[in-house]
């Protein structure tokens, strides 16, 4: 189990788009890198990425540092640009026994006595492996709240990654995007705002399923984090496409006892095939509903789409005209679009009004919350309305 990234470091690793692994570790003179970036520029970016981090101190420090780290030193040194792409904190490495711990400013050993999952450990570089996302989440869950565990599980079971690269890498990715060369790679695609700036939001296939999270916890044989992860998996709505969608889904969908609004009968990103007239209005053949509720009080409606309105939330450019066309098309399909802004979500008073309106449209009663429910709401908001990129660290 030497040189195996785990815990927080593994979760952060799984947020990295494959193009970042290519840019930080790929051979500069081989396809497809040689067609993307000049080798001299690539080497300069890799140097700048590591420079000033603790990894640079390890590379340039005395040999005694390497000796202290033992077998971990060489793979970490070789993978320094990749590691610097997602962390400057101590790197979490899996160890089997407490006697194997070697604490340093770079390495944070994590004792794991449970079984490793049936999937093969991912190997991003020679001598360096990474535990699967589900196991990484279980390790983090042992120290996390249920709310944050649900949020992180929703990200793994969603179709997005929130990744903000360090500046040298961010500049290169932006340049590639501006030049039309940041094409989807490995099933991942970058999102840009209406000004053509990358937002840090990436689309990708799901990294886990709720059932897979439970199966991984059972196979691990470890008790730490297992019960909470299994509980969280049962409360996840898979398919979310952004942190905003996860936050909205949790605050609307979780029970009032857990801080939500008990409006949980929805699907994330339900795809709606448009009729010819609707497709003509929307100028597309399919629309996705951020949070789709089937049925409504109005018998003429087949459902309600709660749309998380944010330019940084969606993939591709958005405009008021395209939003209006989309809403009209869905209305033709019998689906009412209800807009939810982040400002409404973040303000408890405004969100209460929104929730009451949604409940009314769904034909559900809306009651004032008890003191205990309000306290749970406050806790949940503090846990998930935060800088998403720091969520595993908080």
Residue that terminates a domain, selected from 102, 131, 160: 131
Euclidean distance between the first and final Cα of the chain, in Å?
26
Residues spanned by the domain of 331:
240-390
Question: Residue 301 falls within a domain, yes or no?
Answer: yes
Question: Residue 209 falls within a domain, yes or no?
Answer: no
Residue that terminates a domain, selected from 108, 131, 154: 131
Judgement on whether residues 118 and 248 belong to the same structural domain of the protein: no
Question: Residue 295 falls within a domain, yes or no?
Answer: yes
3-class secondary-structure state, position 320 = helix
Question: Residue 177 falls within a domain, yes or no?
Answer: no
**pLDDT: is 60 or 44 the higher one?**
44
What would the pLDDT profile of 23-34 be if each residue is shown by its tens digit? 999 998 888 898
Rounded CA separation 93/130 (Å): 9
Judgement on whether residues 253 and 384 belong to the same structural domain of the protein: yes
Judgement on whether residues 250 and 386 belong to the same structural domain of the protein: yes
Percent above pLDDT 70 for the chain? 89
Question: Residue 319 falls within a domain, yes or no?
Answer: yes
Report the pLDDT value the prediction gives residue 67, as an integer from 0 to 100. Answer: 46
Question: Residue 118 falls within a domain, yes or no?
Answer: yes
Report the pLDDT value the prediction gives residue 77, as an integer from 0 to 100. Answer: 84
Rounded CA separation 127/355 (Å): 51
C-alpha to C-alpha distances, 109 to 14, 99, 124, 127, 197, nearest whole angstrom: 19, 10, 19, 17, 38
Residue that terminates a domain, selected from 131, 151, 169: 131
Helix (H) or strand (E) holding 340: strand 335-341
Judgement on whether residues 249 and 126 belong to the same structural domain of the protein: no
Question: Residue 69 falls within a domain, yes or no?
Answer: yes
Rounded CA separation 265/254 (Å): 10
Please state the pTM of the whole predicted model: 0.92
What would the pLDDT profile of 163-192 be if each residue is shown by its tens digit? 999 999 999 999 999 999 998 899 999 999
What is the separation of C-alpha 284 from the centre of its chain, rounded to a whole number of angstroms? 27
Domain count, the chain: 2
Rounded CA separation 63/316 (Å): 49
Question: Residue 223 falls within a domain, yes or no?
Answer: no
Residue 318 binned pLDDT confidence (cut-offs 50, 70, 90): low
Judgement on whether residues 112 and 247 belong to the same structural domain of the protein: no
């Amino acid at each position: 189990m030497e040189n195996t990234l785990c815990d927080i470091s593994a979760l952060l690793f799984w947020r990295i788009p494959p193009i970042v692994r290519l840019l930080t570790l790929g051979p500069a003179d081989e396809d497809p890198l040689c067609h993307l970036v000049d080798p001299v520029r690539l080497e300069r970016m890799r140097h700048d990425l590591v420079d000033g981090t603790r990894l640079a101190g390890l590379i340039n420090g005395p040999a005694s540092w390497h000796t202290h780290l033992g077998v971990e030193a060489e793979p970490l040194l070789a993978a320094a640009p990749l590691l610097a792409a997602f962390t400057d904190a101590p790197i979490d490495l899996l160890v089997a026994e407490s006697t194997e711990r070697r604490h340093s400013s770079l390495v944070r050993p994590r004792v794991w006595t449970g079984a490793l999952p049936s999937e093969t450990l991912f190997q991003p570089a020679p001598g360096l492996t990474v535990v699967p996302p589900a196991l990484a989440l279980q390790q983090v869950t042992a120290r996390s709240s249920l709310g944050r565990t649900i949020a992180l599980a929703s990200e793994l079971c969603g179709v997005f990654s929130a990744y903000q690269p360090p500046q040298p890498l961010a500049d290169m990715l932006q340049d590639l995007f501006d030049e039309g060369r940041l094409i989807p790679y490995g099933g991942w695609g970058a999102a840009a705002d209406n000004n053509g700036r990358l937002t840090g939001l990436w689309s990708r296939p799901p990294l886990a399923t709720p059932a897979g999270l439970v199966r991984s916890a059972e196979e691990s044989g470890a008790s730490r984090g297992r019960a909470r992860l299994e509980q969280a998996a049962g409360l996840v709505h898979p398919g979310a496409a952004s942190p905003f969608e996860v936050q909205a889904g949790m605050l609307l969908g979780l029970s009032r006892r857990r801080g939500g609004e008990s409006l949980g009968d929805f699907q994330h990103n339900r795809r709606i095939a448009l009729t010819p007239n609707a497709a003509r209005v929307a100028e597309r053949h399919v629309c996705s509903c951020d949070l789709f509720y089937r049925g409504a009080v109005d018998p003429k409606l087949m459902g309600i789409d709660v749309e998380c309105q944010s330019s940084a939330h969606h993939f591709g450019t958005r405009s008021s005209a395209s939003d209006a066309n989309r809403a009209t098309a869905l209305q033709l399909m019998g689906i009412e679009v209800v807009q939810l802004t982040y400002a409404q979500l973040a303000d408890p008073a405004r969100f209460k009004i929104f929730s009451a309106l949604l409940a009314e449209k769904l034909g559900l009663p809306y009651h004032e919350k008890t003191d205990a429910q309000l306290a749970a709401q406050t806790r949940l908001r503090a846990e998930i309305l935060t800088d998403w990129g720091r969520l595993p660290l908080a």
